Structure 1
Amino acid sequence: MKGFQYGRVPRKAAGLWFGVGLAGTLFAVCGAQAAGHGPVRVKGTKPPLVLRQYGRVTYLEGSGLKLALTHPGVRPQGLNAPFGAAQVFAKPGHVLIFTDSFASNPGNVQGECGASETGERYLHVLALGQPKETLSVLVESCWLNMVPAHAPKWDAAAGTVTVDLLSNDKGPLHSVYRVGADGAVKH
């Protein structure tokens, strides 16, 4: 796969990175990486992709791609730097599905999710033709008592990713997201 690129690099001007959010919204953030937070490799991606935290924004980077990720529904203090990420499915040049994980409350090591191994986990779907995030959904949360039945499951024949929660604020939940060949998502 020599020369393969997941997507395009966003423009950089005057120390700012510009990115496109879920609804196609253009935004800019400072280009300085958060101190003490190195890259986290997205397990299973080839060529390798990493997550990097710049301030309160997490970026997916690698092979010419730098894409800001959204994390809807986070608490007011925002996200901590990611500690883990894993690929669920990839079709090079078209779609990437992966999860990323964050500590829930690292400032409180005894209780209120401070000692949680799992923390908060999000599922992301990225369209790679014109790189953009088409889905970002919380699938596990110590803070909100969201307990997954299993990791998000990809069904290649149906073109769907399934999220099953044993508990959340509404009880058990079963969600199926249809992912098109171009990365577009329908719920």
Structure 2
Amino acid sequence: MTHASRYPDVTILPFGGKAPQIADSAFIAPGCRIIGDVTIGPEASIWYNCVIRGDVNRVVIGARSNVQDGTVIHCDSPEPRRPDGFPTLIGADVLIGHMTMIHGCTIADRGFVGLGAIVMNGCLIESDGMLAAGAMLTPGKRVGSRQLWGGRPAAHMRDLTDAALADMQEGVARYVENGRHHAAEIARTLGPAPS
């Protein structure tokens, strides 16, 4: 794990004595801002112009998960009523769509958050759960395994088929591969990353 930026126009900053820890095989696209207590796992991909801010609590992003362009991820502070606050914990093989807002919640392995969706403090998206594009998951809500939730505020719409779950995992694999392609193109254009 390292906290050195591999590309220009990427901001990776320590905060409060904690520096981001980023696996060497992760892809961090130009334009990203990653601050504080943030851990990013192997083969994860953080796409163009994302902000991940672990200043008041921790943010964890698991292996092979992807955070797509323009997403903002934050967390919430500990306080007397909630001594742990609300960290943001994202498991492995998670798909997070473009322009989402992820705040103080847990997205378990193989979860899915659609384009432009909002996930608020204390929410849980269980393994193989899906939040539809444009949905707002209000504080403390729980998307069950194999459930699709949508709307503002989000509510259970239907259960997911095996085919839908397979599509989600194919999407994860595509993003891992696409991250490799983007890293190679950037290196070709800008030269090798500084060591």
Q: What TM-score does the superposition give when structure 2 sets the normalisation length?
A: 0.31
> Which structure ranks higher in relative contact order (CA pairs < 8 Å, sequence separation ≥ 6)?
1
Greater share of helix residues, 1 or 2?
2
Q: What TM-score does the superposition give when structure 1 sets the normalisation length?
A: 0.32
Greater share of strand residues, 1 or 2?
1
